[in-house]
Chains A and B, each alone.
Chain A
């Protein structure tokens, strides 16, 4: 028994983590009081951590240090402006919170032009692929040529699916859009496949934590 206590005292974080993990995992059986309790603890810790981050990583370096160490007193105005966010909890004056929200939205909207140009223009340029590709010895690179052709067909048909999403009389456009729909399913299938990988990885991490980090049953 002493050995167990000693182990708990030497690795309190691991034990606490294991209890919390098991507590939350009980949800897969059914919703229960045990799960509810740990869910609340989780929310409390996350909220508390937000306060800690606000103080030590925002207010300290961006308000306290500039104002009280460097004398840049004007940051006080920004802090007071930021306090307007908290009027969101006031039924009567919640419109005031829209001022800083609008300000941040404006910031983001103003950057959108640069973002669009830098993101999509190179994409557009790289979409025009040669359909006749030559290898280094000057002969036809059949595989790359076919790949480029497929790439172009997929690109055009998927675009036609969106651009002509209203009812079309032209059979060519209808067929193109239909094909575009099918190739989109290939992309969605790929996303589904990788989603499985992502979720299984998360569960593996939990099992590894329990059996290796906590119980030390596996290396």
Chain B
């Protein structure tokens, strides 16, 4: 019964491929037109069905018993296509924000709003990266490849690193101004922070380097104190927190899967 469907979806030779591709595009456009005209009351149920079916695949694949001989169940062979599907679909979200950027900054330039030259720089940088990035992949021009290297490794990466490094200045200022021992909790936090900070830098290790490396007294070496804090107290406390997070996460996943989740995004009228 399924054979005609399987045959229909089988790979096609180059001679007929364009017809199938164009047919698929036209069919998809038709479906989108139908969706656009879908009455409001049918929209949320449709989204709920799509979400449920997507989740059902992985949930069933996990819960369904496997055949001992093949170490598979009836869905195992579809994990690879699902991975490709997820990669293609997820990858298409990469450029979702680009349209907004083009609209906002294109308007800034067109109306010569204040700071329009910054918008021009943004769009120029974007276009340059696209052109040289694609030449780097598909072209052979050595100069263009060098330009891509300047744009990617020289500029983008260094700017990314610089943006994050600025936090170092603010964390120094914030630690100095806000870290006050106003309570028992704050005192515990500060003492632990100091011990961990000393334990993780060589200068702190040097403070207790005179202590023997073996025996019970070695436990007092600052790096061992740090290790003890992390592997005993910190690990136990964070495991307890993780249990709460895990149960909560599972509950939220279940609510999303069954479209029971509440909140602005899920309850908004569509």
| Cβ contacts A to B, 7 pairs, < 8 Å | A14-B154, A40-B125, A79-B88, A106-B56, A158-B237, A189-B189, A189-B195
How many chain A residues have a CB neighbour from B under 8 Å? 122
A132 to B98: give the CA distance in the assembly, Å: 61
CB distance from A60 to the nearest CB of B (A): 8
CB distance from B270 to the nearest CB of A (A): 4
Q: Assess whether A12 is interfacial by the CB under 8 Å rule.
A: yes
Complex interface residues of chain A between 129 and 175 (CB less than 8 A to chain B): 143, 147, 150-152, 154-156, 158-159, 162
CB distance from A29 to the nearest CB of B (A): 10
Q: Assess whether A50 is interfacial by the CB under 8 Å rule.
A: yes
Interface string of A112-128 (1 = CB under 8 A from B): 11101001100110010
List of A residues within 8 angstroms of B160 by Cβ = 42, 46
B162 touches A206 (CB 8 A): yes
B129 touches A102 (CB 8 A): no
- Chain A residues within 8 Å of B, Cβ to Cβ: 12-18, 20-21, 24-25, 27-28, 36-59, 62-63, 66-68, 70-86, 88-89, 93-96, 98-100, 102-114, 116, 119-120, 123-124, 127, 143, 147, 150-152, 154-156, 158-159, 162, 180-190, 192-197, 199-200, 202-203, 205-206, 209
B192 touches A189 (CB 8 A): yes
Q: Assess whether B188 is interfacial by the CB under 8 Å rule.
A: yes
List of A residues within 8 angstroms of B235 by Cβ = 151
A187 touches B24 (CB 8 A): no
A194 to B219: give the CA distance in the assembly, Å: 20
Number of A-B contacts (CB under 8 A): 402
A49 to B94: give the CA distance in the assembly, Å: 10
B233 touches A77 (CB 8 A): no
Q: Which residue of A lies closest to B54 (CB)?
A: A106
Q: Assess whether B9 is interfacial by the CB under 8 Å rule.
A: yes
Besides A105-B54, A109-B55, 4 new A-B residue pairs in contact (Cβ under 8 A), listed by A number: A24-B166, A40-B119, A103-B50, A154-B237
A123 with B239: in contact, given A28-B166, A107-B54, A193-B194 (CB under 8 Å)?
A: yes
A110 touches B57 (CB 8 A): yes
List of A residues within 8 angstroms of B229 by Cβ = 186, 190
A86 with B129: in contact, given A75-B88, A113-B250, A116-B249 (CB under 8 Å)?
A: no
List of B residues within 8 angstroms of A53 by Cβ = 91, 94
A44 touches B249 (CB 8 A): no
List of A residues within 8 angstroms of B157 by Cβ = 17
A78 touches B85 (CB 8 A): yes
A21 to B81: give the CA distance in the assembly, Å: 43
CB distance from A12 to the nearest CB of B (A): 5
